Amino acid sequence: MAIFRSHVLVCGGTGCTSSKSDLIRKRFEEKIKEVNLDKEVQVIGTGCFGLCEQGPIVIVYPEGSFYSRMTIDRVDEIVKEHLLKGRIVDKYLYKEKVTKEDLAEAEHKSLMDVEFYKKQKRVALRNCGVINPENIKEYIARDGYMALGKVLTEMKPNEVIDFIKASGIRGRGGAGFPTGMKWSFAAPNKADQKYIICNADEGDPGAFMDRSVLEGDPHAVLEAMAIAGYAIGATKGFIYVRAEYPIAVHRLHIAIDQARELGLLGKNIFDSGFDFDIETRLGAGAFVCGEETALMQSIEGKRGMSKIKPPFPANKGLWGKPSVINNVETLANIPQIINNGVDWFRSFGTAKSPGTKVFALGGKINNTGLVEVPMGTTLREVIYDIGGGCPNGKEFKAVQTGGPSGGCLTKEHLDTPIDYENLGAVGSMMGSGGMIVMDEDNCMVDIARFFLDFTVDESCGKCTPCRLGTKRMLEILERITEGKGTMEDLDELEELASSVKDSSLCGLGQTAPNPVLSTLRYFKDEYIAHVVDKKCPAKHCKSLLTFEINKDKCVGCTLCARNCPVKAIEGKVKNPHVINQDLCTKCGNCYNVCKFGAVEKN
Ligand SMILES: Cc1cc2nc3c(=O)[nH]c(=O)nc-3n(C[C@H](O)[C@H](O)[C@H](O)COP(=O)(O)O)c2cc1C
Ligand code: SF4
Ligand code: SF4
Ligand code: SF4
Ligand code: FES
């Protein structure tokens, strides 16, 4: 095998690919060849590094130099200076997002020195940004398929289940059900066929953890599915992945082909007599299809609608056969638990929620991206130490966890250690790992409206409380944000929320009221301000705002008037301007363009 003195890792995750990292990689390859370094320097396309907001990202080893926001134009200089002459190009290295004065000191040369990574523990993301996901040998070089080998040659199926049970791992897809227990329900069932299903539907707005694992380390999921298959006696697996994830689908197909070629999928794996093969099924991107009974209907070629449980999938799942359905991130943990042991896995996280959790950190936060932390890490650590707090000096207001099924938490909850119980106890939930940070400019009533709008769109329509109840709730929220709400509306909203929660058939309807209930619980004063004072305290809800020009600040530059789409602004050059409130549509253009802060929102 060729040995290279340097490796150039170019991120090939969806985020970086969308900002042309594939062309950057090509340019590196061309340029390296041009300067005759292609025998010494290898270029590798990887999965996501995590700090997507700074993408496209390029890391050069052995130094670990972390080049962020790369462009094609910068490649030639990095090849000439860094790779040819050994001089790191400081000006293109990632800089911490701190005050300008500290910038010089904050320069980093190595990836692992960066604040964003310091508190992280990468287990599910262990290989993402490290290996070429399109080359099975790179996975194998990182102990890939060792766990499958160990399980098939040294362990009985029930021993595998006991091992996973002892690790205490809980499903990362939302509900946190113990994985070993789920496998143990399916194992004793007799059937001519059983199935392992990987749930890669990932429908939560803002979530992209599962996509990143599939893009960056697809073999980990295949290996885990084969292990689960052996444990419960299944010979066939399906990966249900949404069609909007073309890079993940492409890499999964490459990975499945390569694993089959090496005999790691297919007949008689490791000469153990165990057969297991995997197919993909593409979902059309309906949120409800992430719910396990709807997902199985969809695989069967039917319309994805939830069904009553029981029967549970472990007894009667896909085509009526015993099936285990696990989330991508859950599966990505499995081979490492087998390789490293139960004590290792339990050495981080909390007693009831061992291990780590991956979060897609987004919203009003400096370092948006993918973060994996030990369970028990506090929200404050994630938001401030890793995420770098809110941008532009704005004040943190709330954090939404668990997507449309979760809730909004406040400053008072910042020291809550993250695990399933703690988040549930304060009215939110872990969910699949979306974490959206909000600052003082976010209106909490509007946030509740946003999530409910999503639920109304995504409800499968099978049961009345969810189909109609969420719609009525949305109408009330819309009225409130338009300044037309009443105090009775607030009572009705609360009442409807609890009946939708209690009487819906599946998890979608049962959790849909959570964003409303949590905002009512922690931000009731904002609801009251909308209803009673007809004001939006965050100055976000357009119907409740007026745009006015402060004549003392206005210098008469005319910019606002030129940008007003309805010609509502009048004034002469170098004279204070005035807004005609009857014409103003509250589009906010004048507010955004005025360089003198003269346009005020009231
Ligand atoms: C409306 C709804 C959407 C869901 N979407 C997902 C999803 O996108 N991915 C996922 O793994 N689980 C999702 N779940 C949870 C799954 O139904 C199921 O519990 C999970 O895939 C089991 O895997 P785990 O035990 O490894 O977490 C969803 C549940 C509901 C009610
Ligand atoms: S709760 Fe909503 S999504 Fe679930 S079955 Fe009923 S209508 Fe469909
Ligand atoms: S853009 Fe600002 S400063 Fe210029 S005219 Fe309008 S309000 Fe006055
Ligand atoms: S908010 Fe929009 S419509 Fe109103 S004055 Fe400003 S630019 Fe014109
Ligand atoms: S996609 Fe490149 S860092 Fe996430």
> In this predicted model, what pLDDT tens digit does every residue of 259-289 receive, in sequence order?
999 999 999 999 999 999 999 999 999 999 9
> Within 6 Å (CB) of ligand 4, which residues are found?
547, 564, 566, 568-569, 579, 584-590
The predicted model scores a pTM of: 0.94
Tell whether ligand 2 has an atom less than 6 A from the beta carbon of residue 466: yes
Give the integer Cα–Cα distance in Å for 283 and 304: 9
Instruction: Specify whether the CB–CB gap between 43 and 29 falls below 8 A.
Output: yes
Strands 58-61 and 6-11 turn out to be antiparallel
What Rg, from alpha-carbon coordinates, does the chain have? 26
Please give the pLDDT value at position 99: 43
**Ligand index nearest the alpha carbon of residue 507:** 1
Q: What is the DSSP string of 84-139?
A: IH----GGGB-B-S--GGGTTTTB-SSGGGSHHHHT---STTTTTTTS-TT-HHHH
**All residues at 6 or more sequence positions from 385 whose CB lies less than 8 Å from its CB, including other chains:** 115, 118, 119
**All residues at 6 or more sequence positions from 495 whose CB lies less than 8 Å from its CB, including other chains:** none
Tell whether ligand 2 has an atom less than 6 A from the beta carbon of residue 508: yes
- Residue 402 DSSP one-character state: S
Ligand 1 centre to CA of 199 (Å) is: 7
Instruction: List Cα–Cα distances, 578 to 57, 546, 595, in angstroms.
Output: 47, 12, 16
Whether the CA torsion 245, 251, 255, 261 is positive or negative: it is: positive
Give the integer Cα–Cα distance in Å for 337 and 356: 12
Please give the pLDDT value at position 107: 60
**Ligand index nearest the alpha carbon of residue 465:** 2
Give the integer Cα–Cα distance in Å for 417 and 82: 42
**Torsion angle, CA of 8/12/18/23, rounded to 10 degrees?**
50
State which amino acid sits at residue 463.
C
Ligand 3 centre to CA of 574 (Å) is: 9
**Ligand index nearest the alpha carbon of residue 293:** 1
Q: What share of the chain is helix, strand, coil (3-state, %, to 5)?
A: 45, 15, 40
Give the integer Cα–Cα distance in Å for 350 and 348: 7
Tell whether ligand 2 has an atom less than 6 A from the beta carbon of residue 463: yes
Please give the pLDDT value at position 143: 97
Please give the pLDDT value at position 2: 77
Tell whether ligand 1 has an atom less than 6 A from the beta carbon of residue 291: yes
- Residues in the chain with pLDDT values less than 50: 98-103
Tell whether ligand 1 has an atom less than 6 A from the beta carbon of residue 325: yes
Closest CA to 30 of 8, 13, 47: 8
Ligand 1 centre to CA of 296 (Å) is: 12
Ligand 5, atom 3, lies closest to the CA of 52
Instruction: Specify whether the CB–CB gap between 91 and 109 falls below 8 A.
Output: no
Which atom of ligand 3 is found nearest the CA of 556?
Answer: 5
Query: Reduced to 3 states, what is the DSSP secondary structure of residue 10?
Result: strand
* DSSP-assigned beta bridge partners for residue 362: 436
pLDDT 10s digits, 497-545: 999 999 999 999 999 999 999 999 999 999 999 999 999 999 999 999 9
Query: Reduced to 3 states, what is the DSSP secondary structure of residue 275?
Result: strand
